Amino acid sequence: MSNEDGSIWITFNGEIYNHRELRGPLEAKGHRYRSSTDTETIVHLYEEVGESLPRHLDGMFAFALYDARREEMLLARDRIGVKPLYYAPVNGGILFASEIKAILAHPAVSVSLDFEAFLHYLTFVSTPAPFTLFSGIRKMRPGTLLRVDRRGSLREEVYWDAIVPGRLESADDEEMRGEILRLLEDAIRKRMMSDVPFGVYLSGGIDSSANVALMSRLMDRPVTTFSVGFEGQPAYNELEEARRVAGLFGCDHHEVVLTPQDLQETIPSLIHHQDEPLADWVCVPLYHLARHTRGSGTLVVQVGEGSDEQFFGYPGYLSVYGLESSLGRPLRALPRPVRRALCGAGSGLARILARGGDRLELLRCAAEDRVFFWGGAIAFKGEEKLRILSEEARHRCNGFDSYHVVAEIWDRISREKPESDFGERMVYLELKQRLAELLLMRVDKMTMAAGVEARVPFLDYRLVEYTMRIPTARKIRGGVPKYLLKKALAGVLPEEVLTRKKQGFGAPVSEWFAGELYRYAEDAILTSTIRELNLLDYEVVSQMLKEHREGERDRAFLLWNLFNLSRWYDYWVAGRRAV
């Protein structure tokens, strides 16, 4: 789409929630619209504000805007990273797309694996921006703008960050609860802007139930809800809880139930739509749920991603935060030589704590001034990562330590907001890495694969800016996860939902890989053409498969990582489409 004289052109993916508010003033200044789209508003707004454009937009977006007068192009990804944007410099120019497969279609692009990205993927179960597993193809970071001039020179700048000045030390609980509820309700209202049917993905937990409850207040018809379960796997099913919430709010409720065969039959589609591996098995139920949603005629859904990260909803977060408070902080206050002596492998303290893996890891990190928390989804790291690599790959590892991905983000908030507490830094790391490049990526890829658009009210940037000013101790008072959010939602949700133990959205891949799908997983990993690169030690891989099959150790998370990597390589690099 272009402006009136064709000097500004845009290609755009996403939704701008404030485009109607922006349109009136633009028309008053003489801009002539030819459509009612948010896309055209971006074009006209650029004419007024130039490169500060993304700061004025409230929404999820990836766009490329070309200014013929300046002979310059701008690429932008939204603040939180809901929408992906990829680019590849080639032959003095640049290719860009919201899907890697579009870039791969260009004859100037050859397909090969990026070794450094491969090492990071093994640890983070997705590739951290700006890497992708495809050599030469890069992924824009959230909240960034990339300038491309006529010579093909690239200049990246950050236009938004979740490092928010100030802390709400003096605000009382009532004030914070009210503001959280107001911001969340406003976020949900904005995301109901749609000219097609919309609904909610409902698990029956706090986050999805809050979406339903607050949306029902704003509607004069039943909220359409969707839930997913697994045949013969009651431990992973939340269907009963979802039904109770749907009944409580009078929803038009839909369900889909999956089997091991559903996973096996849809792996080729998952690999195709993911572009690069996302080793989170939630992709499986999410993909089927999106297909069911589309089949029912619903094209837009609201989801609950981002709540657990901001409000400390994961038990693992509480464990790490508590360990750092009780042991890490006192240790880090000591001089480094003292820390090293206390935390040495032969010291009394190390021997006492040797049976606690997290505690021993904390000792090592405190001794070396290294960050203890790497993220909420970490697969291979340390000795286990070295063990899974072939001898040749280990030799190539110099300078490719995945720790620097974590340290760079952690150091940024430590430097720019030294008063931030450990929990705030944990949340910041998750926002910049795991949330953007794994959780939101899986939501976007799997829903868009079915032609469904997912919207994330808990990640409204105004809500994020507010929660990033709240001290962690206020969010989890008395060790209660999501304490502050639960208080904000009192009166919105029944007590049974607010006090329900967190289950988490998962899939029974561990059980399937030990049972019905063992041979399928084994064959996919051990016969993959990625073996030709001699990157992994397949004796170690075979041992992991055996341990999992025989119930000695649950290796499902690590095996799912290798399974996705193997299938990705066979499909995208080796060209084995029938995977």
How many residues does the structure list for the chain?
Answer: 579
Q: Return d(Cα 259, Cα 307) in angstroms, integer.
A: 29
- How does pLDDT run across 123-132, given as a tens digit for each residue? 999 999 999 9
CB-CB contact of 146 with 156 (8 Å): yes
Q: What is the pLDDT of residue 574?
A: 93
User: CA 59, 63, 68, 73: dihedral to nearest 10 degrees?
Assistant: 110
Q: Return d(Cα 438, Cα 429) in angstroms, integer.
A: 13
The CATH number, out of the four listed (3.40.50.620, 3.30.930.10, 1.10.510.10, 3.40.50.1100), of the domain defined by the range 173-312+429-498: 3.40.50.620
- How does pLDDT run across 486-528, given as a tens digit for each residue? 999 999 999 999 998 876 677 888 888 888 889 999 999 999 9
Amino acid identity at 485: L
- How does pLDDT run across 257-316, given as a tens digit for each residue? 998 888 888 899 999 999 999 999 899 999 999 999 999 999 999 999 999 999 999 989
| 223-227, 304-308, 335-339, 385-389, range with the lowest pLDDT | 335-339
Omega cis (within 30) before 315? no
SS3 96: strand
| Domain residue ranges in the chain | 8-158, 173-312+429-498, 315-428, 509-573
Secondary structure tally for the chain: helices H, strands E: 28, 13
Q: What is the pLDDT of residue 350?
A: 61
Q: Mean pLDDT over residues 44-50, rounded?
A: 97
Kindly state which CATH superfamily the domain 8-158 is placed in: Aminohydrolase, N-terminal nucleophile (Ntn) domain (3.60.20.10)
Q: Return d(Cα 493, Cα 249) in angstroms, integer.
A: 10
Q: Return d(Cα 226, Cα 200) in angstroms, integer.
A: 6
**What is this structure's pTM?**
0.95
Q: How far is CA 122 from CA 98, 117, 371, 454, in A?
A: 24, 9, 19, 27
For residue 448, the tally of other CB atoms under 10 A from its CB is: 18
Q: What is the pLDDT of residue 401?
A: 85
pLDDT band at 579 (very low <50, low <70, confident <90, very high): very low
